[in-house]
Structures are given as C-alpha cells and as structure tokens.
Chains A and B, each alone.
Chain A
Amino acid sequence: QKEVEQNSGPLSVPEGAIASLNCTYSDRGSQSFFWYRQYSGKSPELIMFIYSNGDKEDGRFTAQLNKASQYVSLLIRDSQPSDSATYLCAVVNDYKLSFGAGTTVTVRA
C-alpha cells in the first residue's frame, strides 16, 4: 500500500483558472506535510508546508489539511503558464519524506 497517493494526472487548466491538486496519506500519525514543485529536468522546489488542520495561504497558493480524513490539497489560483510542472505531495514519516507519484499540471495559454 502506497503511503502517499496523489490524484492521477495530467491536469490541464486554462490560464487564469484554479488548479486543484489532492493527496491522501496512510500514516495517521503524520504531522508535517509539504508541497513541492518540480520542473522537468530540475530538482524539487518547496512551495508550501502545513502542519495544522485548515487552510494556509501564500500568494496564489493555498494548502488545505484535514488530518481526520488524512487529506492534503493544494489550490493554485490564477494559474499561469509558468505553473506548468509536476507537483509532489510529501509527508514526513520517521524524519524522512514519503512522496506521492506527482501530478503534472499544464496551464494552457
């Protein structure tokens, strides 16, 4: 059983729209959750981290955490072509990151 699962992609959205990315995790004891963005051929770049239930906003990005449902999401508002990338959900387990397979987002101009 995979520890972290993300909604399968690819996800194509028009410029200016909202991109919604979902992630579930299996370890109910997990406390730290991250979203990374990875452009093709590049290393992951941290977008957001969230530790508490609820929403956390940073610019055009909003992360949502629901520990009871073991669910993490990322919303990208006003999507831009530069947001086209693979988005990785990651959960800390025993000091190590468990990654989802990633969701590839394409923003159509």
Chain B
Amino acid sequence: GAVVSQHPSWVICKSGTSVKIECRSLDFQATTMFWYRQFPKQSLMLMATSNEGSKATYEQGVEKDKFLINHASLTLSTLTVTSAHPEDSSFYICSATGTSTDTQYFGPGTRLTVL
C-alpha cells in the first residue's frame, strides 16, 4: 500500500517552454501533497505544500507564479514549471500523506532537463 506515482519520469524541454508533472496517490486518498526539488549531491528542498481544493503554500524563495501547483482531487496534484530555464533543471519529487497520518510516501521523481 501507499504507492505514489509520478509522470513523466524524465523530460527534456527547450528554454521558455512549460512542463507539467503529475503526482498521483494510487491506493490511498492524499489529503496533503508536497513538492520537493533536489539538486545533485544536495538534500531535498521543500518547494510547496498543497491540500486538496486549496491553494498551495509555497516555501520562502519559491516563486508561486513560476511553479504552479494544482491539487484538484484527493489523488492528483500537478506541478507546472512555467517558462522553464536551464537553472530549473533538477529532480522534482512529490510526496503524499493520507488521512490521520503524517507519514510521507514519495513518488519516484521526475528528472527535468531544460536546454
């Protein structure tokens, strides 16, 4: 149980384009989803927290207009990187928690490369 999927697993795009990453909880209802970014040899950095049906809460320094997060249902959250630039190239990972638990289960991650 507690499986989280992400799609796509990797994406290459041109600078200036937008990329959407999906995060799904497959066997539980995710009341809260989290989006992280991880650069090589660094720790995970929390970007934002989203609750179903509510606006996401962004961490300090994360541009909400650049990283659009939608949590439209209890099993799906999306992260859209708008007008991507090479410095946005990173490993994006989502996680989810279910009801009555604070255990976060992580998706497999999406590797974004912006040319």
Contacts and interface: CB of A to CB of B under 8 A. Distances in A.
Interface in A56-109: 88, 92, 95-97, 99-102
Nearest to B38: A43
Nearest to B46: A96
Interface string B84-99: 0000000101010000
Contacts of B105: 46
Interface size class on chain B is 10 to 19
B46 A97 contact: yes
Interface stretch (B14-22, B69-77, B106-114): B106-114
Given A43-B106, A102-B43, 8 more contacts: A42-B109, A43-B91, A44-B106, A49-B103, A88-B43, A95-B49, A95-B102, A96-B46
Contacts, number: 41
Given A42-B109, A43-B108, A43-B109, A99 B103 contact: no
B103 A46 contact: yes
Contact of A97 (B104, B107, B108): B104
Contacts of B93: 43-44
A34 interface: yes
A99 B106 CA distance: 14
Interface string A7-46: 0000000000000000000000000101010000111111
Interface residues of A, number: 19
Contact of B34 (A34, A42, A96): A96
A101 B43 contact: yes
B25 interface: no
Contact of A43 (B43, B49, B107): B107
Contact of B103 (A34, A43, A100, A101): A34
A91 B18 CA distance: 33
